Chain A
Amino acid sequence: MSATVSGATRGSSASPRGPRQERGGLQRAQRVRSRNALLLILPTLVLLAVVIGYPIVSAIITSFQKDAGLDPATGFFVQGGFAGFSNFTHWLLQRCPTGDGGTTACPSGNLGAQFWSATFTTFFFTVTTVVLETVIGFWMAIIMNRAFAGRSLVRTAILVPWAIPTAVTAKLWYFIFSVAGIVNAIFATKILWTSDDWPSRIAIIIIDVWKTTPFMALLILAGLQLIPGEIYEAARVDGASTWKTFWTVTLPLVRPALLVAVLFRILDALRMYDLPAIFGGGNATATWSVLVVEQMRQGPNAASALSTIVFVFIFVIAFVFVRFLGANVVQTTQAQQKGELK
C-alpha cells in the first residue's frame, strides 16, 4: 500500500517542487514553511487553550461572583451576581459576608482566617526545601560529575526517589515517621511526626528533600557537564584552591542552569499538595493548594479567588526570575540538551 501511495504523492509533488521553481521562489517557500509550521503547532495550542485557558478565564470570572444561594430578604433562591473584590478580601483581609450583604471579620474556624497561616506554610516549605535541595543537589551533582567506577550506579539510584509516586512516598514516610516507626526507634524518641505542628513540618521538608533533590542534582549536573575541563586545569595551574575554584569558576559558569533549576523548583514547591494532604499535620502543614481544595466544596467562587491569587503570585515569581535574574529557560535547557547527548 505504501508503495502506491508514495508513488502517487511523488508524482504529484514533483512538478511544483522542480529545481527551477525552488530557486526562483525561495522566499515563497519560506512563507509556506512558516505557515505549515503554524499549522503543525495549532492543534497543541488549541488543546492547551481548552485545558488551561478555559479554566483560567472561568476561574477569574467566577472569582468576581457571589455564591448562589437563598436571598435573606426574600427567601428565594438566587444566582450570585457580581461580587466585586469580596472573594479576594475574604482571603487577603479575612472578611466574611454577613447576611445583609456587608462583611465582617471571619471567625477563627473559617477557612478565610487560615489564609496567612497557609501563606506562611507555603513560603516556609518553599524556602527551606529549595535551599536544602539546591545545596545538597549541587553536592550530588559534583560527585556524579567525577569519573569513577560505579558512577552509573549512583545515577540510577538517584532516580529511584524521583520515580516513586508522591502518594506512595508520603505513605512510605508516614510509616517511617509513625510513633512506633524506625525514626523514633533509632533516636529513642516518641515524637508525633505526623500530627504535631513543627515535627510534621520538619518531616514534610525531609520527605520533599529526599524526593526532589535528585531532580535538582540532574539539572545541575547537566550544567556542570557544559563546563570545559581545560578551565579547571587552568585554575589549578594558577594555584587556585578547590574552594576558590568552586566560587570563581564552577558557580558563575553553572549559574544559568542553576537559575533555571531553582526557578522550576520554586514554582513546583509553591503548588505543593500531595505531601501535606496525605502525610498529615493538619493546619500546620496546610499549603495554598490544600486550602483551595478544602474551600472548593464549601464555596467555589472563593476557591476560584484563592486559586487566582496563587496563579498570579506564581506568575509574578516566574516573571521576576526570567526578567531580572536572567533565567533563560528556553536557551539554557536547549544548551543542556546538547551537552547531555554528546
Chain B
Amino acid sequence: MTTTATRIGAGARSDAEQRVDVNRAAASRRRWASARTWVQAAIIVIWCLLPFYWMVVTSFRDVGYTFDTAFWPTHVTLDNYVTALSTHWGNHLGRALLNSLIIGVSVTVVSLVIGVFASYALARVEFRFKGIVLGVIMGASMFPGVALLTPLFQLFTNIGWMGTYQALIIPEISFALPLTVYTLTSFLREMPWDLEEAARIDGCTSAQAFRKVILPLAAPAVFTTAILAFIASWNEFLISSQLSSDATQPVTVAIASFTGSLPHQVPYTAIMAAGTIVTVPLVVLVLILQRRIVAGLTAGGVKG
C-alpha cells in the first residue's frame, strides 16, 4: 500500500517544479520497494504452490521411484492413475467421485433454494429481530460439526439411515445453508435495487420484480455462492467418514482410507494420483473464478 500511496502522492506533486528532486529520490525508493515486494510475492507463490506441485509430479512418477527427489518430473507414467481408479484393491474412487457429486449437488441445491428467500429478505427488508436472525445464522455456520455427530449417529442407526445419501446430505446442510445465506445476503445487498423499484412502478408485483429483474441480475452472485457451498460439501470429511458406507462414501473418505496392493506398503504414488484427480477440478474452478471466490469468501467469512 505504501507504493500506491507514494505513486498517487508523487503524481499530484509533479506539477510543482521545486519538488523534482524529492520525486527523483522517491522514484529510486519506489524501485527498491517494488523489488522487495516482488521477492516477497514470489516466496508466497512458491510456498503455496510447491506442495501441490509435488503431488502432481509424484502422481506421474513410476512407483519404483516414489521417493525420487528430483524437482522436475522423472520416470513419467500414467500407471498411478490407472491404479487410483482401479477397483482391484478395494478402492472405489470412481464411485466416490460420483457420490461426492451427488451429495455436493443435493446439498448446494437445497441450501440455495431455501436460502435465497432468506437472503433476499435479509438484504432488502428492514424488520425487527433482523440482527438476531443474522447472528443465529452466523453462529450456525461456526457450529462444531462434532457436536451434531453423536446424536445423528444414534438417530440414523435407529431409523436405518446409516450409509444412505440422505444421512450425509442432511448434516451437511447444517453448514452449507448458513454459508449460503450469509454469502448471498452480502452479495444481494450490493445489487442495483433501483431496477426493482422501476419494475414495481411499471406494474410488477414484488414476486414478479424478484423473478424477472432481480434473479437474472443476481445470477452471478448465486452462482458464486453455489460454488462455495459445493466446495464446502466436497471437502467435508468428519461427518461423511462416520455416517457413510462403502457404497456412498465421498472422495475425502475414499482417499483417507486408500489401500494399495501390498498390506504394509503405503501406495503413495497412487494416492497422489487420486489426490490430483480430486483436486484439479477444484483448482481449475478457483483459477477461473478467482475474483468472485475471494469476494464470496470475505463476504461470508466462512472457511470451506
Please pick, from A6, A140, A164, A296, the residue contacting B150 in the complex, using a CB distance under 8 A.
A296
Interfacial chain A residues near B122, Cβ < 8 Å: 41
Interface contact B147-A161, CB-CB below 8 Å:
no
Known A-B contacts A154-B45, A307-B149; A215 and B231 likewise in contact (beta carbons under 8 Å): no
Query: Within the assembled complex, what's the spacing in Å between the Cα atoms of A293 and B271?
Result: 25
B residues within 8 A CB of A33? 125, 127
> B95 at interface (Cβ–Cβ under 8 A)?
no
Give Cα distance in the complex from A271 to B231, angstroms.
19
Restricting to B181-235, which residues have a CB under 8 Å from any CB of A? Answer: 181-182, 186-187, 189-190, 203-208, 212, 231, 234-235
A308–B148 CA distance with the chains assembled, in angstroms? 10
Q: Across the interface, do B275 and A168 meet the contact criterion of CB distance under 8 Å?
A: yes
Query: Residue B3 at the A interface, CB < 8 A?
Result: yes
Given contacts A218-B294, A233-B8, contact A337 B237 (CB under 8 A): no
Q: Across the interface, which residues of B come within 8 angstroms of A161, CB to CB?
A: 48, 51-52
Flag if A165 contacts B252 (CB, 8 Å): yes
Tell me the A222-248 residues at the B interface (CB within 8 Å): 222, 224, 227, 229, 232-233, 236, 242
In the complex, which residue of chain B has the Cβ closest to the Cβ of A209? Answer: B47
Q: Which residues of B contact A176 (CB under 8 A)?
A: 51, 54
Closest chain A residue to B206, Cβ basis: A36
Q: How far is B149's CA from A292's CA once the two chains are assembled, in angstroms?
A: 9
What's the Cα separation between A130 and B155 when bound, in Å? 35
A242 to B304, CA, bound (A): 35
Q: How many A residues, CB 8 Å from partner? A: 116
> CB-CB < 8 A to A288: which residues of B?
146
| B3 & A147 in contact (Cβ 8 Å cutoff) | yes
Q: Do the beta carbons of B177 and A48 come within 8 Å of each other?
A: yes
Interface pair A153/B45, CB less than 8 Å apart: yes
Question: Complex: how many Å from CA A268 to CA B34?
Answer: 35
Chain B residues whose CB sits within 8 angstroms of the CB of A145 once the complex forms? 1
The distance in angstroms between the C-alpha atoms of A338 and B298, with both chains bound, is 10
Q: Which residue of A lies closest to B242 (CB)?
A: A293
Nearest CB on A from B293, distance (A): 7
Assess whether B279 is in contact with A43, with CB atoms less than 8 Å apart: no
Distance of A277 Cα from B236 Cα, bound (Å): 13
- Give A153 to B34 CA distance when docked, in angstroms: 16
Asked if B115 lies at the interface with its beta carbon under 8 angstroms from chain A, I say: yes
Contact between chains at B137 and A48 (CB < 8 Å): yes
A251 interface hit (Cβ, 8 Å)? no
What is the distance, in angstroms, from A215's C-beta to the closest C-beta of chain B?
6
CB distance from A90 to the nearest CB of B (A): 14
Chain B residue nearest to A338 in the complex (CB): B190
Q: How far is the CB of A184 from chain B (nearest CB, A)?
A: 10
Which stretch of A72-80, A105-113, A327-335 is in the interface? A327-335
- Does B37 touch A at the CB level, under 8 Å? yes
Interface contact A333-B37, CB-CB below 8 Å:
no
- B residues engaging A (CB < 8 A)? 1-9, 34, 37-38, 40-41, 44-45, 47-49, 51-52, 54-55, 58, 66-67, 69, 114-115, 117-118, 120-122, 125-128, 131, 133-140, 142-155, 170-171, 173-174, 177-178, 181-182, 186-187, 189-190, 203-208, 212, 231, 234-235, 237-238, 241-242, 251-253, 255-256, 258, 266, 268, 271-272, 275, 278-279, 282-283, 285-287, 290, 293-295, 297-304
18 A-B Cβ contacts within 8 A? A6-B208, A10-B208, A37-B121, A40-B121, A47-B114, A47-B177, A48-B137, A48-B178, A54-B151, A56-B151, A146-B4, A148-B3, A156-B286, A167-B256, A180-B67, A273-B145, A307-B147, A340-B295
